[in-house]
Amino acid sequence: MGNLPTSVKHCLSYDQLIQDYPWLRRWLLEEAETASEYPESVKIVEVGPRDGLQNEKEILPTGVKIQLIDMLSGSGLRVIEATSFVSSKWVPQMADHTEVLTGIKRAPHVQYPVLTPNMQGFQDAVAAGVTEVAVFGSASETFSLKNINCSIDESMRRFDEVVKGAKAKMIPVRGYVSCALGCPYEGQIDPSKVAEVAKRLYEMGCYEVSLGDTIGVGTPGSMRKMLQCVMKEVPASVLAVHCHDTYGQALPNILTALQMGVCVVDSAVAGLGGCPYAQGSSGNVSTEDVLYMLHGMGIHTGVNLAKVLEAGDFICTALQRKTNSKVAQARSGMPRS
Amino acid sequence: MGNLPTSVKHCLSYDQLIQDYPWLRRWLLEEEILPTGVKIQLIDMLSGSGLRVIEATSFVSSKWVPQMADHTEVLTGIKRAPHVQYPVLTPNMQGFQDAVAAGVTEVAVFGSASETFSLKNINCSIDESMRRFDEVVKGAKAKMIPVRGYVSCALGCPYEGQIDPSKVAEVAKRLYEMGCYEVSLGDTIGVGTPGSMRKMLQCVMKEVPASVLAVHCHDTYGQALPNILTALQMGVCVVDSAVAGLGGCPYAQGSSGNVSTEDVLYMLHGMGIHTGVNLAKVLEAGDFICTALQRKTNSKVAQARSGMPRS
């Protein structure tokens, strides 16, 4: 500003302008945001057959699981998490992992990742013909110990083994970070911890890292803070969000993530899978409700909502339970014309 | 029906009545009619939560809305908290005069962006409804009583389907210009998404300032919170919601209607937005009213909080 007196310089300062004219800050922020507010297309990762069914009380016959996956395969979904190669002692609902993976009719251009928490699971999955795997870490030390019986560090070592084995077989690996917005044991989780774990998974070779709001406590506020932190370490294009709807916040949280450049969203048909930490509460956000929102925003997903509704109807009948999807409830409640 | 011709019998048939007047089916199927004392207790509990506006009742004919037949007793029975407004619906001069006699200090009028919905819901065209509301607004101005306007079907109509945002803007503008201090835009059947909310608000905000607008989102398709978030990002800062998500959707049986206040508060507080409302007290009020109605809450926050394992 050269030779201007200090009082004039102060009047022309950005901070002073913003303080005197709050609308100016909003205008500047809006201008920045509207430029590229939402992605043109979003990839949906359907986790119902794995994450959903794993958290349902009822253990379904293998044939029903296969039929569910086959119905979803015809809906346009490009990723359907099929099952989990964990010990049936820990997760009895997934005991038939090999039969499911070998029984489904694999649609072209659809990936069927399976969870492989360690080398044993990975080797069994390879023997069953897997073409994509996933590893499941945590941002919370306590959750890691209670959920998979080892520290975060130890889990990273196990995953690193799996990733190396997968690389050797040209099998892509997806990473998950649970408790990204809160932990049932530790409460608030420092976003920097989420960033640290996400970075480790990415650098070890995971092609995508899904950040999970495991107990659904997140809000657009905490989602934004967490993503800002993670995106300093991992590019937005590699990230996915896995939001639970336990507190009804999944859709606004997903919207926030999309605004920040994330374009992969995990969801479960019919919102399968409750919350083991809040009895009677919902867990996964339902694919139908996510699709309804995205399509209403003109965002391309390639998924046919009607077919997902059919699959949701099928699985809820099999489970003898009501859907968690509000879209499905609304559509089924429509008065007959 | 004796000697009535078949066509008249058809008009008087239950099925036809239900088809023409969905609210009637709602009345028959949905909410139980609660004792006046329970309604008063609910409002008194909400009055202690920090809420600044609590829509107390509706001065409509009890023939059409039997749940609101005790409007005078409710309005005179509540303990009015200081700094809290208790608007009531007054669809016409008769209702307005009855409300004034009962000591009302704020009223609301309920218009529609859909011609068909207006005809089916309040039995008159949009134009005719605006004339009625204008009378009410003039009467209210004379008594220094503020009037809030509502525009229903802002994002879709159960009869007409898609609604042109320019129609919403036109009705909102008429309500604003006639003297409503605030205009609440309602997604009556919950079909809106952030996409349609944005387009509608962009249109309305050309005619009515954002500071005058409120959004009244229904959660029938699970879209209420993302729609509210979108509205907030566009400058709206008044949100309508209902404790425990009371009130189903008469157009989709078994589906939810109003977004629940608890879930809205949870989101806003999580974003650091000040509301002045104590979530715990609203949860208590929600628990109270659901017990009285013998039904489960529609609020996910309430469900999660009640489902917490004992520590």
Q: Please give the Cα distance from B304 to B302 (Å, whole number).
A: 5
Give a yes or no: residue B259 inside a domain.
yes
Residues 6 or more apart from A336 whose CB is under 8 A from it?
none
Residue A313 clears pLDDT 50, i.e. is over it: yes
d(CA A275, CA A244): 8
Question: How much is the pTM?
Answer: 0.89
Which residues of chain B neighbour A329 with C-beta distances below 8 Å? Answer: 252, 254-256
DSSP sequence for B158-218: TTTBS--HHHHHHHHHHHHHHT-SEEEEEETTS---HHHHHHHHHHHTTTS-GGGEEEEEB
Cβ of A255 within 8 Å of Cβ of B190? The answer is no
* Dist CA A158 CA A38 (whole Å): 36
Is some CB atom of chain B closer than 8 A to the CB atom of A278? yes
Query: What token pair was written down for A332?
Result: 């089924």
CATH at B205: 3.20.20.70
* ipTM attached to this prediction: 0.89
Name A219's Cβ contacts closer than 8 Å, sequence gap at least 6.
Answer: A249, A252, A253, B266, B267, B269, B270, B271
**Res B297 pLDDT > 70:** yes
CB pair distance less than 8 Å for B194 and A296 = yes
Selection from A284, A225, A218 nearest residue A253 by Cα: A218
Q: Is residue B227 part of a domain?
A: yes
**For the residues B118-144, what does the mean pLDDT come to?**
95
Residues of A in contact with B272 (CB under 8 A): 221
Cα(A43)–Cα(A263) distance, integer angstroms: 6
Instruction: Give the residue from chain A lying closest to B192, CA to CA.
Output: A296
Indicate which residues of A carry an active-site annotation.
275
Token pair 């009467």 in the structure block, residue = B139
CA-to-CA distance for B229 and B264, rounded, in angstroms?
10
Preferred mutation among B229, B236, B239, B266 to probe A, highest tally of A CBs within 10 A: B229
Q: Cβ of A147: how many Cβ atoms within 10 Å? A: 20
Residue B115: which domain range?
A: 48-291
Residue B65 touches partner A, C-beta closer than 8 Å: no
Q: Which residue has the tokens 């520590």?
A: B311
Q: Is A41 helix (H, G, I), strand (E, B) or coil?
A: strand
Calpha distance B98→B88 (Å, rounded): 11
Q: Does the CB of A256 have a partner CB in chain B at under 8 Å?
A: yes
Q: Which amino acid is at B53?
A: V
The answer to whether B252 faces chain A, any CB pair under 8 Å, is yes
Q: Which member of B219, B222, B307 has the closest CB to residue A281?
A: B307
**Is residue B160 situated within a structural domain?**
yes
Contact (Cβ atoms closer than 8 angstroms) between residue A327 and residue A309: yes
Q: Do A289 and B222 touch (CB under 8 A)?
A: yes
Confidence grade of residue B252 (pLDDT, cut at 50, 70, 90): low
Predicted confidence band of residue A32 (pLDDT cuts 50, 70, 90): very low
**How far from chain centre, in Å, is Cα B222?**
17
Chain B residue numbers with beta carbons less than 8 Å from the beta carbon of A277 are 308-309
Specify if B307 maps to a domain.
Answer: no
Angle between helices A191-204 and A152-168 (to 10 degrees): 30
Q: Name the residue with tokens 């974003």.
A: B271
The tokens of A183 are what? 């932990």
Residue B216 tokens, joined = 């009244």
Rounded Cα distance between B271 and A151, Å, is 31
Strand partners, A209: A175, A239
**A163-210, pLDDT tens digit by residue?**
999 999 999 999 999 999 999 999 999 999 999 999 999 999 999 999
Q: How many domains does chain B have?
A: 1
> In which element (H, E) is residue A43 found?
strand A43-46
Contacts of A301 in chain B (CB under 8 A): none
Rounded to whole angstroms, the Cα distance separating A297 from B77 reads 46
Residue A42 CA, chain-centre distance (Å), reads: 12
- Residue A181's closest chain B neighbor by CA? B270
CA distance B22 to chain A (A): 10
Side by side, which strands form the sheet with A173-178?
A79-80, A43-46, A264-267, A239-243, A208-213, A173-178, A133-138, A114-115, A83-84
B245 interfaces chain A, CB cutoff of 8 Å: no
**With 80 as the cut, is the pLDDT of residue A35 above it?**
no
Please tell me whether residue A209 adopts helix, strand or coil conformation.
strand
**Burial tier of B293 (Cβ tally within 10 Å: 0-12, 13-18, 19+):** middle
A333–chain B Cβ distance below 8 A for any pair: yes
The answer to whether B256 contacts chain A (CB < 8 Å) is yes
Under DSSP, is residue B83 helix (H, G, I), strand (E, B) or coil?
A: coil
Q: Is the dihedral of CA B254, B260, B264, B265 positive or negative?
A: negative
Which residues in chain B touch residue A298, judged by CB atoms under 8 angstroms apart? Answer: 195
Nearest Cα of chain B lies from the Cα of A326 at a distance, in angstroms, of 5
User: pLDDT, tens digit, for every residue of B203-251?
Assistant: 999 999 999 999 999 999 999 999 999 999 999 999 999 999 998 777 6
Total residue length of chain B: 311
Q: Which residues of A touch B307 (CB under 8 A)?
A: 275, 278-281
pLDDT surpasses 50 at B82: yes
* B211, B214, B215, B216: CA torsion to nearest 10: 180
Burial class (CB in 10 A: 0-12, 13-18, 19+), B15: exposed
User: Would an 8 Å CB–CB cutoff place A327 in contact with chain B?
Assistant: yes
Query: Nearest CA to CA, how far is B47 from chain A (Å)?
Result: 24
- Separation in Å, CA of A337 to nearest CA in chain B: 9
What would the two tokens of residue B99 be?
């409300």
Q: What is the mean pLDDT of residues A46-68?
A: 93
> Does A279 reach chain B within 8 Å, measured CB to CB?
yes
Output the six-digit token pair for B251: 């157009």
For residue B121, give the DSSP letter.
H
**Does residue B10 surpass a pLDDT of 70?**
no
Tokens 């809450």 label which residue? B297
Q: Nearest 5°: CA angle at A285, between A246 and B302? A: 20
User: Identity (one letter) of the amino acid at A312?
Assistant: G
Q: What is the mean pLDDT of residues A5-13?
A: 50
A324 touches chain B (CB under 8 A): no
Residue in chain A closest to B254 (alpha carbons) equals A333
Cβ–Cβ pairs < 8 A, chains A and B:
132
- d(Cα B152, Cα A211) in Å, to the nearest integer? 38
Whether B174 maps to a domain, the answer reads yes
CB contact under 8 A, B307 and A218: no
Q: What's the pLDDT band for A24 if we cut at 50, 70, 90?
A: low
User: Over the stretch A200-243, which tens digit does the pLDDT of each residue have?
Assistant: 999 999 999 999 999 999 999 999 999 999 999 999 999 999 99
B19 within a domain of the structure (yes/no): no
Tokens standing for residue A296: 């209403």
Q: Are strands B107-112 and B88-89 parallel, antiparallel or unpaired?
A: parallel
Residue B27, classed as helix, strand or coil, is helix
Cα(A55)–Cα(B34) distance, integer angstroms: 38
- List pLDDT tens digits, range A326-336: 999 999 875 53
Name the range with the highest mean pLDDT among A51-65, A319-333, B198-212: B198-212
Q: What is d(CA B16, CA B242) in angstroms, rounded to the nearest whole number?
A: 31
Within a domain: B297:
no
- The pLDDT mean for chain A works out to 90
Cα B22 off chain centre by: 16
Residues of chain A contacting B222 with CB distance shorter than 8 Å: 251, 286, 289, 292-293, 325-327
- In sequence order, the 6+-apart residues with CB closer than 8 A to the CB of A241 are A210, A211, A212, A213, A223, A253, A254, A257, A262, A264, A265, A266
Predicted confidence (pLDDT) at residue B13 exceeds the cutoff of 80? no
How long a stretch of residues is chain A?
Answer: 337
Q: Is the pLDDT of residue A81 over 70?
A: yes
d(CA A188, CA A183): 6
Contact B228, B239 (CB under 8 A): yes
- Rounded to whole angstroms, how far apart are CA atoms B298 and B286? 9
- List pLDDT tens digits, range A111-150: 999 999 999 999 999 999 999 999 999 999 999 999 888 9
